[in-house]
Amino acid sequence: MLSKRLIVCLDVRNKKVTKGVKFKGNIDIGEPVELARQYYLDGVDELVFYDITASAEKRPIDIEMVAEVAKTIFIPFSVGGGISNVDDMRRALLAGAEKVSVNSLAVKNPEIIRQGAQAFGNQCIVLGMDAKKVPVSDTIKSGYEIVIQGGRTPTGKDALEWALQAQELGAGEICLNSIDADGTKEGYELELTRMVSEAVQIPVIASGGGGTCDHIVDVLQQGKADAALIASMVHYGDYTCSGIKEYVSKKGVKMRLK
Amino acid sequence: MIAIIDYKAGNLTSVELALKHVGADCKVTDKPEEIARADKVIFPGVGTAQSCMDNLRNLGLDLALKDAVNSGKPVMAICIGQQLIFEHSEEDGGVDCLGILPGKVVRFDFEKERNVKVPHMGWNEVEILKPHPILTGFPDRGECYFVHSYYVKVDAPELVYAQTDYEGNRFTCAVGRDNLFATQFHPEKSGEDGLQLLRNFLNWNGKQ
């Protein structure tokens, strides 16, 4: 039986893993390669690296870091941030990443999904999407709108329609982040996650709001997610990946245990 | 030296890095003569059956691989590499493959209402059916990383070494014959248990 996955997200700024704290800016957590190794040995199923300043600084993703990570861990990892075309994707994949993630870029240019999928296979292309709850309207029938630029800019795109369109274009996986839940540690957006996961045939990673092990159980069971993304739960040492997976497994969710 | 066959099928870096990590002397190559000289061969790959077979034939690597298998040197195939060593794949409307082992490659086919996700992507249990030198030290029902939409139906059950269950479909995930061993999962992306299989390949003389 296929296991549900626990994925740790590492936001990288100036070669350091960082975590945004509401109203307080960002604090450094550690070195990306060291943290990757630590989570790898602790049994994490997959990692995601976001080069969060690459786009703003108009530079490609830090390929040196990708290559160092690939030498250090032997599980899949994806990278995002600073991917602006197929050549950037190729460099990241050749450096050893398993998948590349596109978000705002795909909203502005959906064809990038098709181009990436044709060049490297669907399984290499992850669509990251940030969704925000809005009143149901003629244009936003699902009640969730796609937002970009860290949630500041609404796009007028319906989240559910966008997920289906991205699947059609060749996305191999969706990383679905709830802007409303993100950073709250009060639990994932179960309604949104379930709606998207039941509508598409590709795996869905739930993101935003994870604060306790029970939140993870809920999003994998009720939310029907294939994987749960976490960050601060493990970055501050409150939890370990192995501890979380053991707990979630005891609650009846199939997880890979050591 | 281990030759990693480069037939322009996706990412070979992770295979190369994992082999180097376990101490292998290896080289990614698309030259038949280098494959002929190598002590061992890895046939990896990510991609679709048609483009992979086209590339193999255009580069003369189909014959190089068959020669390697016939020579008795240890050969390991991974993922689409494992699929291509069989006779035929139903991917891309039907593709004739290398025909080294008897069997065919078919797509996961679940009833639509069940909404089972394809590709089969993630970690799943590898149930060992009988021992093999490559599987030494691997825990029975240990989990490995899979990403694929097609799987092999082997015509000779004695070649099957391990299987995996995906939503009630038990499919072959490891096959072998003489000096050839192949897995559907990715040992190079399957953590320490996966690395153990690559270590075993390093130590394997190609005999059962």
The answer to whether A124 faces chain B, any CB pair under 8 Å, is yes
Give me chain A's average pLDDT, please: 94
* Distance of residue B59 Cα from the nearest chain A Cα, in angstroms: 19
Provide the number of CB pairs (under 8 Å) joining chain A to chain B: 89
User: Domain residue spans in chain B?
Assistant: 2-203
Give the fold, CATH level 3, of B2-203: Rossmann fold (3.40.50)
Residues 101-160 of chain B with CB under 8 A from chain A are 115, 117-125, 143, 145-147
The question of ipTM being above 0.90 is answered as yes
Distance of alpha carbon A88 from alpha carbon A109, whole angstroms: 15
What chain A holds in terms of domains, given with CATH numbers, is 5-250 (3.20.20.70)
Residue A103: predicted pLDDT: 95
Residue A241: predicted pLDDT: 98
- A-chain CB neighbours of B48 within 8 Å are 121
Q: Is residue B188 annotated as a catalytic residue, yes or no?
A: yes
Residue A24: predicted pLDDT: 59
Residue A22: predicted pLDDT: 56
In sequence order, which ranges of chain B are alpha helices (DSSP H)? 13-21, 32-37, 49-58, 61-71, 80-84, 191-203
For residue B18, name the pLDDT band (cuts at 50, 70, 90). very high
Give per-residue pLDDT as tens, A127-144. 999 999 999 999 999 999
Which of A71, A75, A120 lies nearest to residue B17, judging by beta carbons? A71
The answer to whether B8 faces chain A, any CB pair under 8 Å, is no
CB contact under 8 A, B122 and A96: no
Hey, what are B191's tokens? 């953590």
Give me chain B's average pLDDT, please: 95
Average pLDDT over residues B129-136: 97
- A-chain CB neighbours of B14 within 8 Å are 70, 74, 96, 98
CB contact under 8 A, B122 and A98: no
Selecting among B26, B79, B97, B144, the annotated active-site residue is B79
Average pLDDT over residues A52-75: 92
CB contact under 8 A, B11 and A120: yes
Decide if B140 contacts B164 (C-beta within 8 A): no
Classify A139 in phi/psi space as left (phi over 0), alpha (psi -120 to 50) or beta: alpha
Q: Is residue B144 annotated as a catalytic residue, yes or no?
A: no
Residue A183: predicted pLDDT: 86
Residue A104: predicted pLDDT: 92
Q: Is residue A130 annotated as a catalytic residue, yes or no?
A: yes
